[in-house]
Structure 1
């Protein structure tokens, strides 16, 4: 990322590849894996990369292109002339067989529970194409189809070298030869010395493309768990850092309020969850359509449409925030009816009133993230958060303690940070990179809303359905008193923080598996799946250990109230056990997305939330009197059910059928291209 520092950084650390001179893969059995065609089409016409998508996306971009003035078209033509040829004609986009698309990065609130119509795989940008070639090079070297890099060569058959090869080497030969006799190993060592003496340089992109196609056609590409482990770490580590940075803004507010008292801590939990369900999650859900629209616009060469789509979504979100702001302003009577503590409801309502000031920033930042990420500038969001997150902590100290604004100061710090983040992002685009897709404000942003809303609504509904359970549990916790609600704030913050480790792993897993499946490498995809599940178990056990052993210390970080600490530390034992199932559920759902079966995981999630977790939570909390611990027992069992269902499906899944489904999707996209090209030609003549 760079929302991931660089999510697609090569795992091996080998030389970067210049893709400027490589040729397109014409006639390749893999050439249509991604819905992009390499044939250049004049600006007014619609390139196949844009046509091979859902009808709604096609309708939106068709209308925008038709409405564009000749000035917009000429600006895009100038951009096409200025950038390198391989970017202008899109020929290398078809080479992006293993490009890294960090789906879910932009909103970071979790996967949609059900597959959304029209939310297609984004078109890879030139940065991702380069990473695709790098990933192919690594696998070719692992299979000795291209001479290995210096870091992969070994000098002798010593004990240390043998140990390194068996544990860390990514070469397929090193692990296949583990069962062979010593003479063969010694012969391989001589081969390794010969390779090292040759010092073969990195081949040009054309050769990588040719070798890759031949290897896949001959089914000679294999992988090792070491390679897949390195790849998943390289993909997910920057994501983890960025997600934690983003969530640290919320953590800073909770930590500060916890120092004010138990009532304040309970109020901030109630206010934050209410804000999330009524505003933040719907905004994130609606903005998910930009993941497709902006990426398709950028991939088709119509850069000005990237900024136009972001503008349109921002205006739409700002308009929708007007009734939400009215609801927040008059929220006190509603909150009083939901929780018994009158003072808690008053403070929560005050927090929401102040947060109204941050609403514009929330919408702008969600749209802005898609604007830069569609261009492959994932690091722009990371740099923004590296400045914004520490400033949020400083503002909490300044407003709450230095200026003595107390509880309102924490809400003010949150609102200021929410408005500061998009400003920092704009500053980055203005001063560094990304401005080529911004052609200024346009009145066209107030037109063509209907198809965009139609595309965006399913994302909002599905994500809202998934996260509404948390609001129900928060309201339920409030029924047990202020101390229980304050302890719930501690538990939600801790578990949400810990989830920022397995969730990025799930994003990396779904991407890697989808790429391998699309490249007809089902065996390699199964290896990735095994590594991901093992990694999920390790992450879950790590989180379990931290929460179980430091449960009291973690509670004390948030509050000094003895009653709240006692309640939170007791319930945190249940949350600790939940970590294993939470990690497994995230990874297994990522795998289902990778093989194109995300709907199965989506319905399994909805079933577990509403028919397992929620009934058990309410029963154990109220009927058995286990209160907060009972609420989290239900969630834990729900996650156990969904992870078991998804893993059971994956265990019995036919991975070859996933390859066949990917191939069928290619053929469907080809048919879409053929049917749409006459229309595109007609639009071009018009």
Structure 2
């Protein structure tokens, strides 16, 4: 019998004042609902068209893939950061229906490995290696601090009477038994979950989060290093150039990069569902359809960039700054096709579980971007225009490198070549993609407003803003991947019905987020002058950066905790609450406080960053307070209900005749 959803009056949360006015989950606007049916309709039309005129070989391949998908076991504990493309952040209010992973063979292996780890930790199956218990104090302390085994964290000298819920093994193994086959592991896992015998430790969750987040941190830093290289190079040219590159970069982000990222989020659903349903060639079709759509939409943006100088001159007082920023934007038009292609390409490989493909691409592309900056700016003598040229070349190089990886190594089975069908069925895709673009645009617009506000205080202040934005964006690339790892781990544990383990993961993540924030705070506060000198030699800019960097340093703790808490909310299915909290903090707290302190109190750039810090503190407090009062068992029940609803509403697979 299906488990009923908990009633609003008995949802199990703590009896606090929050329970009286904070719902279990905030509703989304009607335009943001029912994205999964739209995705299924897109795939249904594509499947019908392909079945009617594709060759027998393609149809037979898809039929085999469908049969494999039908027999594919569930992957409850696989690491699949669905909805996240490297270099792209979460939208403020993520869309429903995008968080359920579609398992692939690699993830099924990872899920089995995670099940084995937790079963071993709880002594339900024997350890992989022979272990003889030692009686020394040092051994007991070592196991208590570092061991992931649950029994090792109890008093090893105490005797426990056997109960129905005790572990199947007592921890003293004379011989290591062979690892059970996968089917038996799944049966043991389901039985242990049903009897509430699966527990975890902070050691296990720390190890897991480090394993998940470390490669993500490396990849995010690699991707952002392309921007860092451009800012570092321009900073050697002078204060005016540094201010202009900040204005140009923020304008490019808000008018092009962020909308492209937002529109591309629909591929997280379409490509994953196409791959999971067995119609692998539709993964390539969806990716090339989105690429063509983005290229067409970029035409009016290119026109806007070409004639951007009078617009920028009206927004900032420095005419020379506006002129250089417009020059930078004109050259960046050449990189627009690469930006769109890379966003689609990332989703193409990630839907197949090939997350490392992007990493390998950036391992080549990021160092080359630094080389190109040196070559065009100093070797060729193109100066400011050379930095823009290097950025445009890198933007086009990244999708080419990614395509070469797919062609030479793995991922090409989802590509059937270019097709005329990429120019059809656009309406539903646009309808699915627009909400994601609107939400991400709303989140990032605040940064553009603050950049324009900084420009009102002069060129030196705008140049200092460029350094501060670059530094804080770099530091954010540490807690943000941690938030992705936390979101995935919590969602997997909630989906598997292990709510207590999800709570442990959340506590570990919050402590880790606080530690990362304190580390960033210490680094920025201690080396604030040295960091400024890395970017520029101008004394006015260095002095401004050193002063405001103290505010940015204090912001790091709230920035890290807000990222992690939002990741936890995504994991328990309450992402809308975190999204609305973000929008509230940006537009009701951060902007009014920032603009008031900057212009009314004459704190200038320090006032703008004080507003951001205040907003992050508020959203951090709201999200953590909600999590403290949340009912995790209710999240498990609702997660099961969502999965049942998706299964019931799913269209039956269309088999080719």
- TM-based fold match above 0.5: yes
Q: Which residue of 2 aligns with 1:109?
A: 88
For residue 150 of structure 1, report the CA deviation from its aligned partner: 2.1
Q: Which residue of 1 aligns with 2:18?
A: none
Counterpart among 25, 36, 39 of residue 57 in structure 1: 39
Cα deviations by residue, 1:405-440 (Å, 9 ceiling, x for unpaired): 000000000000000000000100111111000000
Matched, 1:591 2:573: no
Partner Cα separation in structure 2 for residue 353 and residue 382 of structure 1: 29
Matched, 1:121 2:76: no
Partner Cα separation in structure 2 for residue 243 and residue 304 of structure 1: 29
Distance verdict in 2 for CA 1:92–1:253, change over 3 Å = farther
Partner Cα separation in structure 2 for residue 355 and residue 624 of structure 1: 37
Q: After superposing the two structures, state which structure 1 stretch, 637-646 or 88-97, moved more.
A: 88-97
Matched, 1:171 2:153: no
Partner Cα separation in structure 1 for residue 396 and residue 213 of structure 2: 28
Matched, 1:334 2:334: no
Matched, 1:303 2:303: no
Q: Given that residues 76 and 301 in structure 1 are in contact (C-alpha distance below 8 angstroms), is that contact kept between their aligned partners in structure 2?
A: no
Q: Which residue of 1 aligns with 2:410?
A: 433
Partner Cα separation in structure 2 for residue 541 and residue 73 of structure 1: 59
Partner Cα separation in structure 1 for residue 178 and residue 596 of structure 2: 66
Distance verdict in 2 for CA 1:230–1:28, change over 3 Å = farther
Q: Which residue of 2 aligns with 1:262?
A: 239
Q: Which residue of 2 aligns with 1:139?
A: 118
Q: Which residue of 2 aligns with 1:360?
A: 337
Counterpart among 356, 360, 366 of residue 379 in structure 1: 356
Q: Given that residues 86 and 358 in structure 2 are in contact (C-alpha distance below 8 angstroms), is that contact kept between their aligned partners in structure 1?
A: no
Q: Given that residues 338 and 397 in structure 2 are in contact (C-alpha distance below 8 angstroms), is that contact kept between their aligned partners in structure 1?
A: yes
For residue 592 of structure 1, report the CA deviation from its aligned partner: 0.5
**TM-score (normalizing by structure 1):** 0.87
Q: Which residue of 2 aligns with 1:581?
A: 558
Partner Cα separation in structure 2 for residue 379 and residue 398 of structure 1: 29
Partner Cα separation in structure 2 for residue 336 and residue 53 of structure 1: 41
Q: Report how many aligned residue pairs link the two structures.
A: 622
For residue 81 of structure 1, report the CA deviation from its aligned partner: 8.3
Matched, 1:180 2:158: yes
For residue 371 of structure 1, report the CA deviation from its aligned partner: 0.5
Matched, 1:533 2:515: no
Q: Which residue of 2 aligns with 1:614?
A: 591
1:253-652 matches, within 5 Å, as 253-652=230-629
Distance verdict in 2 for CA 1:589–1:73, change over 3 Å = farther
For residue 663 of structure 1, report the CA deviation from its aligned partner: 1.9
Matched, 1:160 2:142: no
**TM-score (normalizing by structure 2):** 0.91
For residue 291 of structure 1, report the CA deviation from its aligned partner: 0.6
For residue 69 of structure 1, report the CA deviation from its aligned partner: 4.4
For residue 73 of structure 1, report the CA deviation from its aligned partner: 6.4
Name the SS for the 1:95 alignment partner: coil
Cα deviations by residue, 1:481-531 (Å, 9 ceiling, x for unpaired): 000000000000000000000000000111111111111111111111100
For residue 163 of structure 1, report the CA deviation from its aligned partner: 1.7
Partner Cα separation in structure 1 for residue 170 and residue 293 of structure 2: 63
Name the SS for the 1:54 alignment partner: helix
Partner Cα separation in structure 1 for residue 247 and residue 152 of structure 2: 56
Query: Which sections of structure 1, spanning at least 5 residues, go unmatched?
Result: 1-26, 30-51
Q: Which residue of 1 aligns with 2:23?
A: none
Partner Cα separation in structure 2 for residue 114 and residue 517 of structure 1: 20
Q: After superposing the two structures, state which structure 1 stretch, 657-666 or 284-293, moved more.
A: 657-666
For residue 53 of structure 1, report the CA deviation from its aligned partner: 7.8
Partner Cα separation in structure 1 for residue 646 and residue 43 of structure 2: 17
Distance verdict in 2 for CA 1:182–1:57, change over 3 Å = closer
For residue 111 of structure 1, report the CA deviation from its aligned partner: 1.2
Q: Given that residues 72 and 304 in structure 1 are in contact (C-alpha distance below 8 angstroms), is that contact kept between their aligned partners in structure 2?
A: no
Partner Cα separation in structure 2 for residue 670 and residue 78 of structure 1: 25
Distance verdict in 2 for CA 1:508–1:685, change over 3 Å = closer
Cα deviations by residue, 1:54-92 (Å, 9 ceiling, x for unpaired): 110111000100111456463445546888xxx952256
Q: After superposing the two structures, state which structure 1 stretch, 655-664 or 366-375, moved more.
A: 655-664
Distance verdict in 2 for CA 1:243–1:523, change over 3 Å = same
Partner Cα separation in structure 2 for residue 178 and residue 501 of structure 1: 38
Name the SS for the 2:197 alignment partner: coil
Distance verdict in 2 for CA 1:552–1:179, change over 3 Å = farther
Q: After superposing the two structures, state which structure 1 stretch, 521-530 or 87-96, moved more.
A: 87-96
For residue 664 of structure 1, report the CA deviation from its aligned partner: 1.6
Distance verdict in 2 for CA 1:660–1:419, change over 3 Å = same
Distance verdict in 2 for CA 1:183–1:216, change over 3 Å = closer
Q: Given that residues 284 and 416 in structure 2 are in contact (C-alpha distance below 8 angstroms), is that contact kept between their aligned partners in structure 1?
A: yes
Name the SS for the 2:611 alignment partner: helix
Distance verdict in 2 for CA 1:118–1:162, change over 3 Å = closer
Q: Given that residues 286 and 459 in structure 1 are in contact (C-alpha distance below 8 angstroms), is that contact kept between their aligned partners in structure 2?
A: yes
Partner Cα separation in structure 2 for residue 306 and residue 251 of structure 1: 33
1:18-29 matches, within 5 Å, as none
Partner Cα separation in structure 2 for residue 93 and residue 464 of structure 1: 38
Query: Which sections of structure 2, spanning at least 5 residues, go unmatched?
Result: 4-33
Partner Cα separation in structure 1 for residue 160 and residue 493 of structure 2: 34
Q: Which residue of 2 aligns with 1:67?
A: 49
Cα deviations by residue, 1:91-134 (Å, 9 ceiling, x for unpaired): 56442111211134315332111131443423111111111111
Q: Given that residues 513 and 525 in structure 1 are in contact (C-alpha distance below 8 angstroms), is that contact kept between their aligned partners in structure 2?
A: yes
Name the SS for the 1:150 alignment partner: coil
Partner Cα separation in structure 2 for residue 254 and residue 208 of structure 1: 52
Partner Cα separation in structure 2 for residue 455 and residue 203 of structure 1: 44
Partner Cα separation in structure 2 for residue 667 and residue 447 of structure 1: 32
Name the SS for the 1:543 alignment partner: helix
Name the SS for the 1:127 alignment partner: helix
Q: Given that residues 121 and 292 in structure 1 are in contact (C-alpha distance below 8 angstroms), is that contact kept between their aligned partners in structure 2?
A: no
For residue 611 of structure 1, report the CA deviation from its aligned partner: 0.3
For residue 180 of structure 1, report the CA deviation from its aligned partner: 3.5
For residue 685 of structure 1, report the CA deviation from its aligned partner: 8.0
Q: Given that residues 122 and 292 in structure 1 are in contact (C-alpha distance below 8 angstroms), is that contact kept between their aligned partners in structure 2?
A: no
Q: Given that residues 35 and 96 in structure 2 are in contact (C-alpha distance below 8 angstroms), is that contact kept between their aligned partners in structure 1?
A: no
Q: Which residue of 1 aligns with 2:638?
A: 661
